[in-house]
Amino acid sequence: MLLRIATRRHFTTNIRASFDQPWLRTKNNTLQQRPPGLLGYPELSHPEELIRLSEQTLRRAGLIVSRIVHSFTPHHNTNPKLNHHPQQAFLDSITAFDRLSDVLCRVIDLAESIRNLHPHQEWVFAANQAHQLLSRYMNTLNTHKELYDALDFTLARVSKDDDPKLVAAKTVAQQFIRDFQRHGIDLSGRERKKLVEISDEIMAVGRMFFAGACSSGGAEEEGSSSSTWTTAEEVRQIGSMIGPEPLAFDGQEGRALIEPNGWPAHALLRYHPSATVRRRIWLSQRQSPDTQVILLESLLKLRYQFARLTGKQNWAEVVLEDKMLGSPANVRRFLDGLAQETRPLVQEESRRLRQLMPPGSKDPIHPWDRDYYSQLLVASRQSARNPAAQMRFSVGNCLETLSSLFSQIYGISFEVEAPQGPEEVWDELVVKLAVIDEAEGRIGTIYCDLFDRPDKSSGAAHYTVRCSRRTDLDQAHLDFQFLGDPHRPVIDQLFPDPLRSEPLQVPVSQIPGKIGTYQRPVVVFSCTFEPPNLIDRQPSLLAWSEVETLFHEMGHAIHSMIGQTEFHNVSGTRCPTDFVELPSILMEHFARSKPVLRQLIRNQAEPHQDAQIGDVEGMVTGFEEFQAGSEAGMMRATETYSQLQLAVLDQLFHSEIVASPAFDSTFEYQRVVREYEPASSSAFSEDAGSDRWHARFGHLYGYGASYYSYLFDRVIAQKIWATLFDPYPTPPRSPPLDNDQLDRRNGERLKHSLLKFGGARDPWISLAEILNIDQLADGGFKAVDVVRKWGLWK
């Protein structure tokens, strides 16, 4: 579907060329009085301006705090609405709280993206300074008793008011209340001080643990070794699979040291025919130094202490309080049900692998055998003549297909916008996309930073630079009513100064059909794909796993664009952790659908070739066969079971078990591994004592007690897909889909029942509406049981 032609000169409809042929781009030469700085902000032309902006932001935040305290606490009594118009007073207070959060997050979120993506160290340093300053100030607000009293007072006045227009505001209020309570606002001064100390320790120890988990050797430890070895003969036996980089072999022993998590080690584990070699490599990958295990156990115990001090039984209760599943018991029930359903399929996959073992072998499939026999199984099922085996898709093709897909199902498309100045983007390969809704016009901006470069953060990520929010109710001039004590610093040596308190300015616009003005979302969508070859003028081509990654991350971006709410705190992806992955996993389903595959394949044909429909359909069929016969397709249950194992371990590590003086994380980890091992393995039992991989499980820091979320959202996404978009559901749909599998009516249903609320509505209510299952609406045990029974394999 063609995008509409824009009337502004700096727009282009040629999405594909912007990514695949960057050498053809023309710079925007529009003259402006003050060209935009970084990410379109005129205030950010130089790094030092970011530090100055953070200080101005902090001063303005101090003014807003003073305004809230004087306007909404009963003992100040300067606001007549408090007694006579409690509903309006509550809405005003939530607007003020949300604005306070937004003013801070405009710079904190901006700094987060800069420090992870900007290639210049001056900007990274400034971003770290700004982020640290404002984050520390935000932490002080979480223990601000007068702020809490103001919120608690106005919320209590409308607690029994079920007016629908209060729903989103109450959701925001409850989020703030939980934040206050998690930081011990109800505790005595001594206990609150202790809680702050524990919280600081959690952050410090957690960062050290995560850094060690991500490094090749774990946390620093004298005498620890992070290398394993191979020989020239072992390398010769797998040939070119070892990779292009030559290894340095010792002249006497004929050995070369290799990193356990480097490509040569992975190649030996995957392709070497000797189980002895594979076992050596596998064991080297499961090592963690004592210091790394100690850091993990310290983190877990600190979290337990924090939970007990705040009145919870364990850290999982702290984390799950505002999640869809709500309690550790519900999480474990979901995981147990999925494990029970998955285990027979894992055993069948293991049986297929055993059939490839040498005749007469009575050995089970050991952990170091799985990759080797999995690739043999794939090789035995794949046809070398299937053209889909070598198919790659350009980045521009994928973005163009995504734009067409969103246009078809949501009425949303992309237009490439040239940066309005050289400072707006941080790398010449970054592409700026304007997001256009056919009814509302421009609804947001996505900066696509999709290609690898030195010192760029690895992997794929979605950075929220700015959230949507209603702005016309701010009444910013009233911030100066209550200036506070000019001799009392806001934080450190930063004193109140109304003349230097201008926050980061954002553009606002009206939304058709809505009252008021809104700021629009801006996100950065980052991947580390191989960049286009600027010398040979060849585009970046993606393997299918990379295409799925791109579609997945775009799911977060489009959620930010559609989920525009009145409050920044519940906008877009600011929703429960066990709901936030749902839109992205749905995008993976879209990527595998016939209409999308058909467009990707047709587009990938050379522009001067007119691919016949029959050829395209044959390629689609071949590609589906190729995917079914891939390792991801043939070992799907085994991979799911591995994730289940980690989710169970995550819950165990965040239970009361860590309170025991005898707690041993290595013992508990190995117990879970044995419990979730699909087949017994005597050799594995002998080596269990040296398997300490759990201390490298970095997600225990960022996703502690919520690692189950991806599995939970996979189940829900599959159910939504089968209900709305699967052309051949079981049982058959009544009435069946129209000719087009990607029916616009169902796209609108997904958009308006699920995505548009961001985090402003209980996700269970959204699921009940989109699936027409009333039993889901109240959440809780019964709703979890419904989801558990859906499973993944029916």
Catalytically active residues, by annotation: 553
583 in Cβ contact with 410 (< 8 Å): no
Whole-number Å distance between alpha carbons of 362 and 343: 21
Count other C-beta atoms under 10 Å from residue 173's C-beta. Answer: 24
β-sheet bridge partners, residue 45: none
Task: Tell me the C-alpha distance between 479 and 557, whole Å.
Answer: 33
Closest CA to 509 of 471, 474, 564: 471
**Paired strand residues for 412:** 437
CB 549 within 8 A of CB 395: no
Give whole-number Cα distances, 218 to 201, 212, 565, 621, 676, in Å.
Answer: 19, 4, 42, 45, 26
Q: What are phi and psi of 462, to 5 degrees?
A: -120, 120
Residue by residue, DSSP assigns 25-75 as --------SS---GGG-TT-SSHHHHHHHHHHHHHHHHHHHHHHHHHH-TT
Cβ–Cβ < 8 Å for 767, 776: yes
CB 300 within 8 A of CB 205: no
Question: How do strand 412-417 and strand 431-437 relate by DSSP bridges?
Answer: antiparallel
- Find the helix packing angle between 763-771 and 709-724, rounded to 10°: 30
Residue 231 Cα distances to 237, 251, 254, 280, 770, angstroms: 10, 11, 6, 12, 58
Distance CA 674, CA 672 (A): 5
Residue 508: enclosing H or E segment and its boundaries?
A: strand 508-510
User: Peptide bond before 735: cis, by omega within 30 degrees of 0?
Assistant: yes
Structure tokens, 356? 């490839």
Cα separation, 232 vs 250, whole angstroms = 10
Question: Which residues are CB-contacts of 761 (< 8 A; sequence separation ≥ 6)?
Answer: 167, 168, 171
448: its two tokens: 């696509």
If we measure between CA atoms, which residue out of 287, 286, 266, 288 comes closest to residue 277?
266
Nearest to 526 by CA among 400, 431, 403, 414: 431
Estimate to the nearest angstrom the gap between the alpha carbon of 763 and the chain centroid.
17
DSSP-derived secondary structure for 429-480: T-EEEEEEETTTEEEEEEEEEEE--TTPPPS-EEEEEE--EE-TT--GGGGG
Contacting residues for 430 by C-beta, under 8 A, at least 6 apart: 447, 448, 449
Order across the sheet with 508-510: list the strands.
469-470, 517-519, 508-510
- Token representation of residue 710: 């991806």
CA atoms of 729 and 368, how far apart (whole Å): 38
**In the 8-state DSSP scheme, what is residue 607?**
T
Contacts 24+ apart (CB under 8 A), 4-11: 4/413, 4/436, 6/415, 10/417, 10/418, 10/420, 11/415, 11/416, 11/417, 11/418, 11/434
